[in-house]
Amino acid sequence: MTKAATADDGSALLSWQSRQRRVVTVYVPLLIFVFILLFPFYWMTITTFKPNAELYDYKNFNPFWVAAPTLANIKKLLFETSYPHWLFTTMLVAVCSTVLSLVSSVLAAYAIQRLRFKGSAYVGLAIYIAYLVPPSILFIPLATMVFQLGLFDSPMALILTYPTFLIPFCTWLLIGYFKSIPYELEECALIDGATRLQILRQITLPLAVPGLISAGIFSFTLSWNEFIYALAFISSSENKTVPVAILTELVQGDVYQWGALMAGSLLGSLPVAIFYSFFVDYYVSSLTGAVKE
């Protein structure tokens, strides 16, 4: 960062970028980008707090502002639908599948990167390729499997199927992290008589904590956002996850309750957005780390 800053100062000196030019070429486009990227959220929020009279009347009310904010939409969502239940299911599924994926990924990444056996590179490659298999081509056969296993319409179906896209990602990320931990540390411990398990628990894992956090956060948001499996494997209203429930339970008939829909979208996005805001740096590092590895 500091390096980039000095480079920029240098280029500013050499190519003589005037302040006005910088405003036009950098700040204005940046502002437009931020505006467009954030506008849907603003619109979501503002619609949530609008009473119906304002929602459908652009002539008498300025659509960009709320004259008389109301909590009716949120109240309706929280008390007249099973939103709390959906939230609980989503949380349960996201936490369980994240934990399951993290544990399996740590072990797999450790085996591939540290235990170095014949063909470990191929196992790593196979896991990478697994990441490229999208849910869109798996959901039909998985639906028949889920049905045969008797898991249809239970959160267990989601907890077991989400790792199919979480494990490849986490393993790939953790391989990168383990690679950055000096191998000598483990050799020292081996010489001192530590068992492999002790090494993993007391040396490698503590050093890989940032990687674990990144992988965990990424997995959590990915499972929170997952849609197609949850849509295909869950049918009863109370077992649905938030994204599916808001789309299928709140949209009924031809007249859409836009206020309630936007309230649902807002409240469904908030938990994951708040969670994300605490760990932005880890999230960014996992996003870019996965791409760079």
Partner 1 sequence: MSASSPSAPRGQDLPPATNWRRPQINQGWLARLLDSKTFLIIACLTPALGLLMVFLTYPLGLGIWLAFTDTHIGRGGVFVGFENFESLWYDWVFWGAVFYTVFYTTVATVLKFGLGLWLALLLNENVPFKSLLRAIILLPWIVPTVLSAIAFWWMFDAQFSIISYILVDVLGWRDTYIDFLGTPWHARWSLVFANVWRGIPFVAISLLAGLQTISPSLYEAALLDGASSWQRFTRITAPLLMPILAVVLTFSVLFTFTDFQLVYAITRGGPINSTHLMATLAFQRGIPGGQLGEGAAIAVSMIPFLILATLFSYFALARRKWQQGEAND
User: Within 245-274, which residues bind partner 1 (CB under 8 A)?
Assistant: 246-247, 258, 261-262, 264-265, 268-269, 272-273
Instruction: Identify the residue among 53, 71, 121, 209 touching partner 1 (CB under 8 A).
Output: 121
Is 35 one of the binding residues for partner 1 (CB under 8 A)? no
Residue whose C-alpha is closest to residue 55's, from 257, 276, 272:
257
Is 191 one of the binding residues for partner 1 (CB under 8 A)? no
Residue 212 and residue 104 in contact, taking contact as beta carbons nearer than 8 Å: no
Is 141 one of the binding residues for partner 1 (CB under 8 A)? yes
Instruction: Identify the residue among 21, 23, 52, 58 touching partner 1 (CB under 8 A).
Output: 58
What string of H, E and C letters represents the secondary structure of 23-48? HHHHHHHHHHHHHHHHHHHHHHHHHH
Is 127 one of the binding residues for partner 1 (CB under 8 A)? yes
Residue 155 and residue 236 in contact, taking contact as beta carbons nearer than 8 Å: no
Residue 223 and residue 232 in contact, taking contact as beta carbons nearer than 8 Å: no
CB closer to partner 1 out of 10 and 69:
10
As measured in angstroms, the least distance from the Cβ of 76 to partner 1 is 16
Residue whose C-alpha is closest to residue 163's, from 99, 214, 108:
99
Q: How far apart are CA 84 and CA 91, in angstroms?
A: 10
As measured in angstroms, the least distance from the Cβ of 81 to partner 1 is 15
Instruction: Identify the residue among 73, 98, 105, 214 touching partner 1 (CB under 8 A).
Output: 105
CB closer to partner 1 out of 12 and 71:
12
Instruction: Identify the residue among 10, 69, 84, 206 touching partner 1 (CB under 8 A).
Output: 10
Residue 168 and residue 130 in contact, taking contact as beta carbons nearer than 8 Å: yes
Q: Give the relative orientation of helices 83-113 and 258-278 as an angle to the nearest 10 degrees.
A: 30
As given in the structure block, the two tokens for residue 23 are: 């405003």
Sole window of 74-82, 180-188, 207-215, 228-236 interacting with partner 1 (rule: CB under 8 A): 228-236
Sole window of 69-77, 80-88, 204-212, 220-228 interacting with partner 1 (rule: CB under 8 A): 220-228
Is 8 one of the binding residues for partner 1 (CB under 8 A)? yes
Instruction: Identify the residue among 74, 214, 283, 286 touching partner 1 (CB under 8 A).
Output: 283
- In whole angstroms, what separates CA 167 from the centre of its chain? 14
DSSP 3-state percent helix, strand, coil across the chain (nearest 5): 80, 0, 20
Is 210 one of the binding residues for partner 1 (CB under 8 A)? no
Task: Give the 3-state secondary structure of residue 243.
Answer: helix
Q: How far apart are CA 54 and CA 65, in angstroms?
A: 10
Sole window of 66-74, 80-88, 117-125, 180-188 interacting with partner 1 (rule: CB under 8 A): 117-125
Residue 200 DSSP code: I
Is 180 one of the binding residues for partner 1 (CB under 8 A)? no
CB closer to partner 1 out of 71 and 190:
190
Sole window of 66-74, 77-85, 98-106, 207-215 interacting with partner 1 (rule: CB under 8 A): 98-106
Is 30 one of the binding residues for partner 1 (CB under 8 A)? yes
Is 154 one of the binding residues for partner 1 (CB under 8 A)? no
